[in-house]
Chains A and B, each alone.
Chain A
Amino acid sequence: MRMMISSIGQWFDRRLQLAAPVREIAEHPVPRNTASWWYVFGSAALVVFILQFVTGILLALVYVPSGAEAWSSLQALNHAVTLGWFIRAMHGWGSNFMVAIVLIHMVQVFLFGAYKFPRELTWILGVFLLLMTLGMAFSGQVLRFDQDAYWGLGIGASIASRVPILGPAIVKLMLGGPIIAGATLSRFFTLHVFVIPGLLIGFVCLHLLMVLKLGINEWPMPGRVVKRATYINDYHELTKKDGAPFVPYAVWKDMFFAAFIILAVAACAFYFGPFGPTGRPDPTIIQTVPKPDYFFLWLYALLSLLPPSLETPALLIGPVVVIAGLLLLPFLSGEGEKSWKRRPIAVLTVMLIAITLGTFTHLAGYTPWSPHMNAWSGDPVPDQFIHGTTALERQGALVFQVKQCRNCHSLGETGGQRGPSLDSVAVRLTQDQLIRQVIQGGGNMPAYGKNLSPAETTALVAFLETLHPKGQAPARDAARDVALGDQKQPGSER
């Protein structure tokens, strides 16, 4: 039996002649201390990519890339096709895992100085692989052709339209027509299923080829400095003196981690289920709060927090600067220390970016900049703010509710957070200032002058003046008492 298998193997190899090069690749020597758990993320990214490939093909068996039917075919996958929900969930969670692993891999490569000479091109291809991974994540979100996908495309089109001169043409090219419709989905399907995966496969092969040709980055030691003239010799000496064959010396850690990641994706898929689809992609349903997928939430936050005048420049110039910076990195610091212990700025940069992105993502989780569209009808004024108030003040509380002030202002922790909380507004603003603010707006608040009768304004301000902590007097304008003689400011006696 063994003889037979061996002779069949030989028959094939006499024709393919692959056994020797494959053995050579498998057993190429790697520096002994690179057999580390820190070095498993690259192979894990490849494994998740293969997983995405397989689950993607499975989904394509049922999915219909038509504006009219995509949403229904996803419903069928979720509810009618056996285990369709699980394959969708695997693909969705696989996408999240892939972005996360690629980012971790990149941070590790950056902190270990692996992008330095002679691995500059490996890094550059890696940057393109990151961009393609993000491109896959975005186009995948579009294929989940639901409300979020529809309005997400609208946001994409609005951003693209801001490109000087070419903007409108880019929008039409992106949408495949004048509006977001069937043609738009078809072209994102083409990108997601043919164009980007094809490029990904090619780039992954080149990326891997270079890892094999140039050798895996040695474990960085403080003081072991990269010099273009000597590095390659030093590296060969290191692998000769202190090397071990990749298989089986280092590969078992990659294998363990790969299996762990696949199981983790499956566990998340099983436990949390597939993502959406949310409501039908029907633009006449405007009762929707579109939100991007997890890895684009930071962008969603950034677009709310940038000053309006900076937005277009930041959107158009920012990505160019970031990508150019990433591509130029290996040329700007191609030599020198590799160890993170001797590169404080590198460590601080990673921390700063991580904290910034983390904070933006966290903020996008509860969107304090968005009005709560239903607060005016859903969140009543809490009891404690009404206790012991006069009829006028209660009328003011009603005005406060009915005029949708609550959509942007919270009282007792309920309501919107777009504007400041009004729990103690009377301490901050005097009566005159309150009236002016309500009528004229300003500081990002709309003017309500045209929408409030004088009686409503009087009642509203009377209510607002009651909003101060117990034992803390409301703000008052001392000069006013003098100017108006005996006439006391309402509320000043309280």
Chain B
Amino acid sequence: MSTKPVLAPSSETPISRRGFFMKLGILFNGLAAAVVAVPIVGFLFSSITRGRGNGYLSWVQLGNVSEFPEGETRLATFRNPYVMPTDGTTADTACWVRHIAGEQFQIFAVNCAHLGCPVRWFQQSGLFMCPCHGGAYYRDGSRASGPPERGLFEYPYKVENGVIAIQAGELPTPGAAIAALTGEKPPCA
């Protein structure tokens, strides 16, 4: 017991055996933490880093052109192209289909461009109205009044063999426009 020299706590003291192992222990734990942190962080942020890799921007069929009479705006529903087993009804989505003429359409998200509440179409007055904060839009989706700062979100669409398909696997939010600035193509503009 008495064979060990008592070390004075000064800066010139050579590092003790215990102190060295203590530091090594901290370092070793730091290393372990870093090794484990990589998969943890990767898992935690996977919903961002995954990007659009799951194919949720693939084309979804809405139905035949003939189901949407010219000059009218109708509600259509579709199931998200990317579905998890626990999604239930939440993976079903609605959208407003405005058939202008021929193969010309406008497919609007039901989500208000203000805060995302579902807008309803009023044929007689040619307006979309939002029940939450009173946003209103004209039949072409442009802003008519209320708090929204822009028109309704439109999904990209194509018509093939008389069938309308849209790209709509992502919840449209007002921030999507900012994504465009950073180089990421917004899901719908």
- Given A168-B184, A311-B147, verify A159-B132 contact (CB < 8 Å): no
User: Within 8 Å CB of B148, what residues of A?
Assistant: 308
Given A284-B93, A286-B118, A303-B147, is A451 in contact with B110 using a C-beta cutoff of 8 Å?
no
In the complex, what distance in Å separates the CA atom of A300 from the CA atom of B114? 12
Chain B residue at minimal CB-CB distance from A307: B147
Stretch from B9-17, B23-31, B32-40, B75-83 at the A interface:
B75-83
Q: Given A283-B90, A283-B93, does the pair A172, B47 have CB atoms closer than 8 Å?
A: yes
B127 close to A446 (CB less than 8 A): yes
Residues of A within 8 A of B133 (CB): 300, 303-304, 369-370
A198 located at the interface, meaning its Cβ lies under 8 Å from any Cβ of chain B in the complex: no
Does B66 reach chain A (CB closer than 8 Å)?
no
A142 contacts B by Cβ under 8 Å? no
- Asked if B166 lies at the interface with its beta carbon under 8 angstroms from chain A, I say no
Give the segment of A22-30, A173-181, A245-253, A484-492 that binds chain B: A173-181
Q: Which A residue sits closest to B147, measured CB to CB?
A: A308
How many residues on chain B are close to A (CB under 8 Å)? 63
Measured CB to CB, the closest approach of chain B to A400, in angstroms, equals 11
Of the listed stretches A93-101, A401-409, A422-430, A464-472, name the one at the interface; the rest are far from the partner chain: A401-409
Given A175-B171, A404-B125: A286 touches B134 (CB 8 Å cut-off) = no
Contacts A182-B84, A182-B88, A418-B134: A450 and B144 contacting too (C-beta < 8 A)? no
User: Given contacts A373-B131, A404-B127, are A173 and B48 in contact (CB under 8 A)?
Assistant: yes
**Chain A CB within 8 A of B102 CB:** no
* A446 proximity list for chain B (CB < 8 A): 125, 127, 136, 138, 144-145
Closest A residue to B186 using CB positions:
A168
Q: Point out the residue from A161, A287, A306, A441 that lies within 8 Å of B120, measured CB to CB.
A: A287
Which of A66-74, A221-229, A270-278, A378-386 has 4 or more CB atoms under 8 Å from chain B? Answer: A66-74
Q: How far apart are the CA atoms of A404 and B89 in the complex, in Å?
A: 32
Contact with B along A451-470 (1 / 0, CB 8 A): 10000000000000000000
Rounded to whole Å, the gap between the CB of B53 and the closest CB of chain A is 11
Size of A's binding interface in residues, CB under 8 A? 73
Q: Which residue of A lies closest to B149 (CB)?
A: A308
Which applies to chain B's interface (DSSP): helix, strand, loop or mixed? loop
Contacts of A167 in B (CB 8 A): 173, 175, 178-179
Residue A280 at the B interface, CB < 8 A?
yes
Closest beta carbon of chain A to B40's beta carbon, Å: 14
Within 8 A of A (CB), among B66-97: 75, 77, 80, 82-94
Q: Tell yes or no: A150 within 8 A of B by CB.
A: yes
Do B173 and A289 have beta carbons less than 8 Å apart?
no
How long is the Cα–Cα vector from A304 to B130 in the complex, in angstroms?
Answer: 12
With an 8 A cutoff between CB atoms, is B176 at the interface? yes
* B87: min CB distance to chain A, Å: 4
A444 within 8 A of B: yes
A262 to B109, CA, bound (A): 46
Nearest residue, chain B, Cβ from A399:
B124
CA distance A186 to B174 in the complex (A): 24
B129/A407 in contact, CB under 8 A: yes
Residue B20 interfacial (CB < 8 Å): no
- Residues of B near A157 (CB, < 8 A) are 116, 171, 173
Residues of B within 8 A of A178 (CB): 52, 54, 56, 80, 82, 169-171, 187
**Could you show 9 A-B contacts with beta carbons less than 8 Å apart?**
A163-B175, A164-B178, A168-B176, A173-B45, A179-B90, A281-B90, A303-B115, A311-B149, A451-B125
Q: 6 smallest A-B Cβ distances: which pairs?
A: A161-B175, A68-B88, A182-B86, A167-B175, A446-B144, A154-B116
Question: Which B positions have Cβ atoms within 8 angstroms of A?
Answer: 45, 47-48, 52, 54, 56, 75, 77, 80, 82-94, 110-111, 114-120, 122, 124-127, 129-134, 136, 138-139, 144-149, 169-171, 173-176, 178-179, 182, 184, 187
Q: Taking beta carbons and an 8 Å cutoff, which residues of A are in contact with B?
A: 66-69, 71, 150-151, 154-155, 157-165, 167-169, 171-173, 175-186, 280-284, 286-290, 300, 303-304, 306, 308-309, 311, 369-371, 373, 376, 402-405, 407-408, 418, 441, 444-448, 450-451
